[in-house]
Amino acid sequence: MNMVKNKRIFSKIVSAILLVSLLLPAGMITNEAQAATKPSIEATKKIGTGSIIANYDYYSKDDKYILDVSNVVKKATYSFTSSNAKVVTVKAIGSNGYLTGIKAGTATITCNQKLNGKTTKVGTCEVTVVNSSVSQDTIPVLPLGNSVAKEYLEYQYRNNDATYTFTSDNKNFSMKENLSKFDGMYFVKQSFTATAPGTYTVTVKETYNKSTRVVGKIKYIVKKATVSAETTTIDLGSDIVGYEMVNDYRLDVDYIYEPEDSDIIEVVKSNEISYLKGKKVGTTNINVYEDAKAPDKSKLVGTCKITVKEVVLESIDCDFYETEVYVGGEPIEVEVTKEPYNYPGAITVTSSDSKVATVSDVDEDGNFTVTPVSEGNTTITITCGTITKTQTITVSTNED
C-alpha cells in the first residue's frame, strides 16, 4: 500500500517538474521579447546646421536629419521636444522627429510615447550641431576665361538650407555657385571667370537665418594656355584632338591649328572640335592660335611638333569556331583581327575551291562567312599586308 502511495507522489513530483521546465523558458522568452521590442531612440547624434543631409556636390531635399523611434508600438503616438530650440528644433511626423540645426551647440531631444491615454518616456538623445566648413586637398589649376570646376569643394556638414557666396581677393578673378536639378536631385558646381594668370584666395561665406559667417578660405591658380613642348607622335591614318596639344586651354574660345606641311597633317573639324589627322609619314610644326577666326600672329599661343609614323602590321588572328560543315548547313562565321587594330591595310579572304565553299568579303567589324557548296576540302586564305593565314575546311554531304 505504501509502495503504491509513494509511486503516486513520485509521479506528481515528476509531472510538476516537467510542467515547470516547460513554462519557465516560455515565460523567459516572452519577457525577453517584450524587453527587446521596447521603443527606443539613439542616445547621441551629430548634425549640421539646416535640415538636409549634405554631400560634397549633390543632395536631395528628401534626405532630412531624422531621429526615429525603433520598435514602434501600434496605435501609439510619439512626441519630441528640444531642451534648447536656439540650437536645434524638432518636428514630429509619425514616429520620426525631424531635426533642424539652428546654430552650433548641444541640446537634448526627449521622446515620449502616448498609448491608451498614458504617456511614457521613450528616451533622450543628445544632439550636437556643428557649423559647416570647407577645405581643399590640392589647389586646382584653372584656365583663363570662363570655366566650371572639375573638382568639387569639400564641405563638411554643408547647410543646404543656406546660401553660399564667394569673395575673391582680386578683381581679376571671381567665382559663384551654380545649382541645377535633375530627377529630384540638386547638383552643386562652381563657375569661374579669370582675366589674368595668378594665384587667388577666395573667402567662402554662408548666410543662414539672416546671419552670415565665414566658412573658410580656398585658393585657385590660373594659368595661361601653352602648347606642348614635346613632340607628339601619331599613327598614319589616325588622329588626335587638337586640345591635346594645348596645356590649360580655355573652354570659352576657339583654337585654330595651322600645320606648316598640310601634306603630313590634315585638320578636320567635327561637332565644333578640331582633329589633327596623319596623312603622310613625317614631322611638321603646328601653329596654335587662340580666339582667332584665322591665323593671327598676335594671337599665337605657340608652336608644337607632330610626327606621323607608319603603322607596321605585327600579326593577324583568325577565329575559326568550326572547320567541318555539311552541304546545306549554316555558313561558318569567322572573325579576323589585326594587331595593331589601326593598320590601314585591307584584309582579303579567298577559297582555293569555290565549288566546295565560297567566302564573303570581310566587313568593317572584321567578320566574314564560309558557305558550303559541295563535298570536298578547300583552303581558306586570309591575307593582310605581308602576313598570311590558312585554314582547311571540310564539307560533307550530310550532317553525320
What confidence tens digit (pLDDT) does each residue in 360-385 have? 999 989 999 999 999 999 999 999 99
8-state DSSP, 272: T
Give the Cα separation of 268 and 254 in Å (integer). 14
Give the Cα separation of 257 and 273 in Å (integer). 11
Give the Cα separation of 51 and 65 in Å (integer). 6
pLDDT for 342 equals 84
Q: Are 172 and 196 in contact (CB under 8 A)?
A: yes
C-alpha cell at 31: 519577457
Count CA atoms closer than 13 A to 56's CA, side-chain side.
Answer: 9
Number of other CB atoms surrounding residue 181 within 10 Å: 9
Q: pLDDT by residue (tens digit) across 6-52?
A: 445 445 554 555 444 544 444 444 434 444 579 999 999 999 999 99
Q: Are 146 and 191 in contact (CB under 8 A)?
A: yes
Give the Cα separation of 358 and 253 in Å (integer). 56
Closest CA relative to residue 254, chosen from 288, 279, 285: 288
Give the Cα separation of 160 and 180 in Å (integer). 13
CA dihedral 385→391→392→395, nearest 10 degrees, is -100
Strands 357-359 and 348-351, how do they pair? unpaired
Helix (H) or strand (E) holding 348, with range, is: strand 348-351
Domains and CATH numbers, the chain: 44-130 (2.60.40.1080), 133-223 (2.60.40.10), 227-309 (2.60.40.1080), 315-396 (2.60.40.1080)
Q: Are 378 and 357 in contact (CB under 8 A)?
A: yes
Q: Are 368 and 362 in contact (CB under 8 A)?
A: yes
What is the model's pTM? 0.71
Closest CA relative to residue 84, chosen from 122, 110, 111: 110
Give the Cα separation of 167 and 218 in Å (integer). 10
Helix (H, G, I), strand (E, B) or coil at 119: strand
Give the percent of the chain with pLDDT over 90.
76
Name residues of the chain where pLDDT drops below 70: 1-36, 399-400
pLDDT for 13 equals 53
CA 380 to chain centre: 47
Q: Widest CA span of the chain, in angstroms?
A: 131
Burial of 306 (0-12, 13-18, 19+ CB in 10 A): buried
C-alpha cell at 291: 580666339
- Tell the residue number behind the cell numbers 496605435, with chain if given: 75
pLDDT, the chain, mean: 89
Burial of 280 (0-12, 13-18, 19+ CB in 10 A): middle
Residue 397 neighbours by CB under 8 Å, 6+ apart: 326, 327, 375
Phi-psi region of 71 (alpha: psi -120 to 50; beta: other; left: phi over 0): left
pLDDT for 15 equals 54
Closest CA relative to residue 153, chosen from 178, 182, 197, 188: 188
Query: What is the DSSP secondary-structure string of 20-76?
Result: HHHHHHHHHHHHHHHHHTS-B--SEEEEESBSB---SSEE-TT-BEEEE-BSPPTT-
